[in-house]
Amino acid sequence: MNALELNKVHIKRGDIPIVHGVDIVAKPGEISVLLGANGAGKTTILEGTSGVIPIASGDIVLEGAQMCKASAGHRARSGIAHVEQGRTIFAEMSTEDNLRVGLHPESGLEQAYDLFPELKTRANVKSAMLSGGEQQMLVIARALLGKPKVVLIDEMSAGLAPVVVARLMQAVRLLADQGLAVLLVEQFANLALDIGDRAYVLRRGEVVYDGSCEILRNDPAMLHHLYLGDMEKDSA
């Protein structure tokens, strides 16, 4: 059974259509990677899925339950966790308090510290004082403590050193291996394809590739073509 299904989803920002009838699934134990050039609609899809913005039409189904009319809070309580881009920590709170905010009654802080031991040593530090990488770890761990069924992760590598990004990618892979469904938006396609199972390439709000990450990993020319599409012909 799919953890999350997006069926024929259309999303607008204001009056401007951004996403045009996409079909996307996320399965337990798998990482689905959303790729595409800037403005392709990747972040819009995540925001529409978690309820940050409404969708214009289509279905969002979480383990068989229709979600498209639900509020963002209801979707979160139902099991959709959204790690927004920009590291949305609660800067005035300590690391531990940040984690407690998202804590499900059946979860424990140890889960977060097992995933990112770095956070345990910084538990009582004001989260604004954490490094960029630690802040990213914090928001991923916080989302995990809500006991989600699906985690949507948006551009977690932005502005971070390669060694930190590698550490985060490894942790996300571990989450999926533990049975979580992950929908990952990432600007560095190669890094995402390395840990992903299934890939969707978006161009101008439409899915132009839906298949395994392995195929794209082994065929950079194809990935390049999928990203650029008509732009290649135009420039030729």
Q: Which residues bind another protein (CB under 8 A)?
A: 50, 52, 71-73, 76-77, 81-82, 84, 88, 90-93, 97, 100-102, 142-143, 146
Question: Smallest distance from the beta carbon of 147 to another protein, in angstroms?
Answer: 10
Candidates 204, 181, 232; CA nearest to 22 is: 204
Beta strand 181-185 with 16-26: parallel, antiparallel or unpaired?
unpaired
Residue written as tokens 């392709």?
Answer: 40
The residue among 72 and 125 lying less far from another protein, judged by its C-beta, is: 72
The residue among 72 and 228 lying less far from another protein, judged by its C-beta, is: 72
The residue among 41 and 148 lying less far from another protein, judged by its C-beta, is: 148
Burial class (CB in 10 A: 0-12, 13-18, 19+), 12: middle
Give the Cβ contact number of residue 210 at 10 Å. Answer: 14
What b-and-e string marks burial along 94-132, b requiring 16 or more CB atoms within 10 Å of the CB? bbbebbeebbeeeeebebbbebbebbeebeeebbeebee
Please state at what angle helix 132-144 crosses helix 162-177, rounded to 10 degrees. Answer: 10
Question: Smallest distance from the beta carbon of 6 to another protein, in angstroms?
Answer: 18
The residue among 8 and 13 lying less far from another protein, judged by its C-beta, is: 13
Question: Smallest distance from the beta carbon of 207 to another protein, in angstroms?
Answer: 25
Question: Smallest distance from the beta carbon of 185 to another protein, in angstroms?
Answer: 15
Question: Smallest distance from the beta carbon of 15 to another protein, in angstroms?
Answer: 17
Question: Smallest distance from the beta carbon of 85 to another protein, in angstroms?
Answer: 12
The residue among 92 and 219 lying less far from another protein, judged by its C-beta, is: 92
Strands (E), the chain: 4-13, 16-26, 31-36, 57-62, 65-66, 80-83, 150-154, 181-185, 198-203, 206-212
The residue among 124 and 235 lying less far from another protein, judged by its C-beta, is: 124
